[in-house]
Amino acid sequence: MPIELTAKPILIAGASSGIGAATARACAAAGMPVALAARRLDKLEQVASDCMKHDVPTSVIECDVTDAEACARMVDQAETELGPVYAVFANAGFGQESPLLDMSDADTRAMFETNLFGTLNVVRPAAERMKGHAQGHLLICSSCLGLFPTPWYSIYSATKASQHHIGRALDVELREHNIRCSTVHPVGTKTEFFDEMKAKQGTLTVAGSSESFMQPASAVANAIVRCLRRPRPEVWTSAPARYAMIASGFFPRLAGFAMRKAIAKRLNDQARESSTTA
């Protein structure tokens, strides 16, 4: 039997844009009260306005996931304003495109602080509250790259693999408390993710696929709502991508060859574009 989501609150960390914002809207449409958390309050207010159109209670919380105490307060505030939180989506994160040897220790640590330790900062207090309620559902936004080590994204891939492993372990460790944990594995998604990287770094070497091959954030959000109704360990929106990522582990030499060819093509395309515009 599917789980009835009406009146079951969800807390979303990283809800100001992209997948987090789309998930908030989809959950509100499903009747779930939503607590929206992120650093950018102005963006959160816009998302909250959309959610309130569905006549569900909505809370806006300023929070930086790298601050463990702030995350604990975030969970407290969500429960104070909305009641016992049923689901939590640890979605905050960012990426950086860089060859591994060119990436500084500071940038590497910053990505792990947000993507990995930020996730832990969110799920730890949330799980403790859920134990007291004897039910709940944790969701962690990993990536398809969590199963596929990717050149120029090795650190990002490592953080996403860490999130995946944490999620799979938690789903077993917390089952005795009637708590589920699901990892979410988006493929290329139309969000601010690539735009923010390009703004910081300029031209991207590996990223930059045609928008025709990018999925909307709503596709991920709708898959998350389906998972909340019928819990499962992993959320994928592309079966071919999932099988390709799994196959790469069985055939690493072939996967490496394919990546080298793809990157070479990308660089050649960039060179042609530059010569055309020069």
Given a cut of 60, whether residue 212 has pLDDT beyond it is no
> What is the mean pLDDT of the segment spanning 45-65?
96
- pLDDT score, position 1: 85
pLDDT number for residue 265: 78
Share of the chain above pLDDT 90, in %: 70
| Span 87-99, average pLDDT | 93
- Going 9 to 11 to 17 to 20, the CA torsion angle's sign is negative
Q: Above 90 in pLDDT, residue 192?
A: no
Element containing residue 235 per DSSP (H, E): strand 234-236
Asked if residue 32 lies in contact with residue 5, where contact means CB atoms within 8 angstroms, the answer is yes
- Give the pLDDT confidence score for residue 65 in this predicted structure: 97
Q: In terms of CATH architecture, what is 10-246?
A: 3-Layer(aba) Sandwich (3.40)
Q: What whole-number distance in Å separates Cα of residue 97 and Cα of residue 100?
A: 9
pLDDT at 58 over 70: yes
Distance CA 257, CA 262 (A): 9
Above pLDDT 70, what percent of the chain? 89
Is residue 111 predicted with pLDDT exceeding 50? yes
More confident position, 142 or 267: 142
Q: Which DSSP string corresponds to 42-93? A: HHHHHHHHHHHTTT--EEEEE--TT-HHHHHHHHHHHHHHHSS--EEEE---
Domain range annotation of the chain: 10-246
pLDDT higher than 70, residue 195: no
Residue partners of 33: CB distance under 8 A and separation at least 6: 7, 8, 9, 10, 56, 57, 58, 59, 82, 83
Weakest mean pLDDT among 25-34, 110-119, 142-151, 241-250 = 241-250
Asked if pLDDT for residue 213 goes beyond 80, the answer is no
Q: What is the pTM of this model?
A: 0.89
Per-residue pLDDT for 210 more than 50?
Answer: no
